[in-house]
């Protein structure tokens, strides 16, 4: 469920693999996984757009090596030295095929690092576009992902999914986490937490203010669902 707070270990357990890199193409057979962050000093320039319905995700650099001490001075690679597509190349290929009408938009699960040891599951997105642009004297990849309807089954056809979900901004998540002390506001539980809209977004509640967001454990979040307390 989107807005779930999750540990790195639980994230890896859920995906069935140790997530050692930010871009993981086809890791779930019917979907891919990316790890993102918009924190200050994050290694990549990820960002939210369109009031939180869209992520612009930056591709990843060449691995650091004896020949390349600083990957930030090199163009982000589309292919490995052996000619195989990198993760950039794999995501770029399916995004371009979608733009040409050759396939449905790929499904991508997105996890966001909020702070050290704290991750938020941002839900499922469509990968709808990709491009290359100049940044600080080198070429980087950019990927556009659009949020799809909540509670989707990644095995379903993507044709029926719609972009109606709006993300809670990172600054709001951080403010709520600090204010609520990392605990469910109803029972004090510290695990299985979710960022919950007090007035649901579907009923006009805002995602952009901490006053309308609280921490709830899974039990109380499920009990509340779309009710206005």
What are the tens digits of pLDDT across the range 84-101? 999 999 999 999 999 999
Q: Which of 152, 167, 182 is the last residue of a domain?
A: 167
Residues 68-76 have a mean pLDDT of 95
Structure tokens at 31: 């979907």
Largest separation between any pair of C-alpha atoms in the chain: 59
The whole-number pLDDT of residue 165 equals 61
Res 159 pLDDT > 90: no
Can you give the pTM of this predicted structure?
0.86
Print the domain residue range for 91.
Answer: 4-167
Same structural domain, 25 and 40: yes
Claim to verify: residue 149 and residue 184 sit in the same structural domain: no
Q: Verify that 208 and 116 share a domain, yes or no.
A: no
For residue 229, being part of any structural domain is answered with: no
* 131 in a structural domain: yes
Q: What is the mean pLDDT of residues 130-144?
A: 97
For residues 13 and 122, state if they share a domain: yes
Mark whether 90 and 147 lie in a shared domain: yes
pLDDT of residue 167: 81
Please tell me the total count of domains within the chain. 2
Task: Average the pLDDT over 45-51 and give the result.
Answer: 91
Contacts 24+ apart (CB under 8 A), 170-176: 170/38, 170/39, 170/48, 170/112, 170/114, 172/207, 172/208, 172/209, 172/210, 172/213, 173/114, 173/120, 173/213, 174/114, 174/115, 175/210, 176/210, 176/213, 176/214, 176/215
Claim to verify: residue 110 and residue 32 sit in the same structural domain: yes
**In the listed set 133, 148, 167, which residue is the last one of a domain according to the structure?**
167
pLDDT tier for residue 227 given thresholds of 50, 70 and 90: low
**pLDDT grade, residue 205 (50/70/90)?**
confident
Q: What is the pLDDT of residue 3?
A: 86
């Amino acid at each position: 469920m989107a807005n779930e707070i999750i540990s790195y270990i639980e994230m890896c357990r859920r995906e069935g693999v140790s997530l050692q890199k930010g871009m993981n193409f086809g890791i779930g057979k019917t979907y891919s996984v990316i790890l993102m962050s918009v924190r200050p000093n994050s290694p990549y320039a990820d960002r939210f757009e369109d009031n939180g319905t869209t992520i612009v995700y930056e591709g990843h650099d060449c691995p650091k090596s004896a020949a390349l001490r600083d990957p930030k001075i090199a163009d982000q690679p589309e292919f490995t030295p052996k000619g195989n597509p990198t993760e950039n190349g794999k995501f770029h290929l399916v995004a371009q095929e979608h733009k040409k009408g050759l396939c449905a938009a790929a499904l991508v699960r997105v996890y966001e690092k909020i702070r050290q040891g704290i991750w938020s599951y941002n839900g499922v997105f469509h990968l709808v576009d990709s491009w290359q642009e100049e940044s600080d004297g080198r070429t980087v990849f950019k990927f556009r992902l659009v949020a799809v309807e909540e509670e989707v089954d990644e095995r379903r056809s993507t044709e029926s999914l719609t972009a109606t979900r709006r993300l809670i901004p990172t600054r709001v998540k951080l403010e709520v986490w600090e204010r609520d002390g990392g605990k469910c506001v109803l029972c004090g539980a510290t695990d299985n937490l979710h960022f919950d809209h007090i007035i649901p977004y579907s009923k006009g509640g805002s995602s952009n203010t901490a006053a309308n967001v609280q921490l709830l454990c899974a039990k109380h979040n499920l009990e509340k669902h779309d009710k206005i307390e």
